[in-house]
């Protein structure tokens, strides 16, 4: 949901079964315990920026503080851009025990909390318009991974 609206956390199948039925589709995904912080990555071309802030109900409207971008975070961000054919985008991540997990990709975020990013975005858009930046989607066959016999 937008800014968390419409999201319900259920802990077991009986809680899931007790939800009021609706005509709208429902997305169910595993709940992953995170660090308690929002971690956003913002990308302009090959440049990756990180912003952290404590997670709260108001954190959707508050800018975070710039943070270090590890090589793992950088590669995760750039891999998402390659797969989706994006050059300007943002990611929301959860830092789990098993490492960072991408929760959401935004194809043109607000870059809230990234100092001095506006000229970089403008330069990227100008380069793209002039043809010196180009994006391409990977071949679908290269993305499909067999999951074994069904």
Spatial contact of 115 and 66, defined as CB atoms under 8 Å apart: yes
pLDDT band at 150 (very low <50, low <70, confident <90, very high): very low
Query: Among residues of the chain, what percentage have pLDDT more than 70?
Result: 81
User: Given this model, what pLDDT does residue 142 score?
Assistant: 58
Burial degree of 73 (CB within 10 A; 0-12, 13-18, 19+) = buried
Q: Does domain 32-136 have CATH number 3.30.470.20?
A: yes
pTM of the shown model: 0.75
**Rounded-to-integer distance, Cα 95 and Cα 97, Å:** 7
**115-147 b/e (C-beta count within 10 Å ≥ 16 → b):** eebeebbeebeeeeeeeeeeeeeeeeeeeeeee
């Amino acid at each position: 949901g937008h800014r968390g609206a419409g999201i319900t956390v259920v802990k077991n199948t009986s809680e899931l079964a007790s939800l009021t039925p609706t005509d709208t589709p429902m997305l169910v995904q595993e709940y992953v315990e995170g660090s308690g912080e929002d971690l956003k990555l913002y990308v302009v071309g090959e440049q990756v920026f990180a912003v952290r802030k404590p997670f709260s109900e108001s954190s959707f409207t508050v800018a975070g503080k710039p943070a270090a971008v590890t090589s793992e975070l950088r590669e995760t961000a750039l891999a998402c851009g390659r797969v989706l054919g994006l050059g300007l985008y943002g990611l929301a991540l959860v830092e789990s025990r098993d490492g960072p997990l991408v929760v959401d990709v935004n194809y043109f975020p607000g870059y809230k909390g990234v100092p001095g990013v506006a000229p970089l975005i403008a330069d990227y858009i100008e380069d793209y318009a002039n043809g010196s930046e180009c994006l391409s989607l990977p071949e679908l066959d290269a993305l499909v991974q067999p999951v074994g016999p069904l």
